[in-house]
Amino acid sequence: MLKEFKEFAMRGNVMDLAVGVIIGAAFGKIVTSFVEDVLMPPIGQLVGKVDFSSLFIGLSGKSYDTLKAAKEAGVATLNYGNFLNNVINFVIVAFCVFLLVKQINRFAAKPAPAAAPTTKDCPQCAMTIPLAAKRCGHCTAQLA
């Protein structure tokens, strides 16, 4: 069983998938940092000095100044600011993957055009003969 697992794990597709997952995780962290540290602060500034990660609704009916205060009080919260950050993360990652796949498809080998046929079938004996033949070499039928 161990030998089978080793053969499975060492196949090219599994190794490619593993590398893709590792790079994807690292890329996800970069995008998360970009959204939270670079993109959202200016957007929050433009819409009225709002920190999106601190936007929430307390479900207890009481009002809390910060998300941290609500969590310390043990209140269930809807953290829609974090949800907005995650949606923006997803859109950026999806767009980057789209661009990557588009480039890979652009550089992928295009199939060679089909070669023009050089032979045809004899109408009398159905044997393959050259296109330029005036007489079948198999049955000697005269060709038009």
pTM value? Answer: 0.53
pLDDT digits (tens, 9 = 90+) for 41-94: 888 788 777 777 778 888 888 888 888 888 888 888 888 888 888 888 788 878
Burial letters 1-31, b for 16+ CB under 10 A, else e = eeeeeeeeeeeeeeeeeeeeeeeeeeeeeeb
The pLDDT of 9-33, averaged and rounded, is: 79
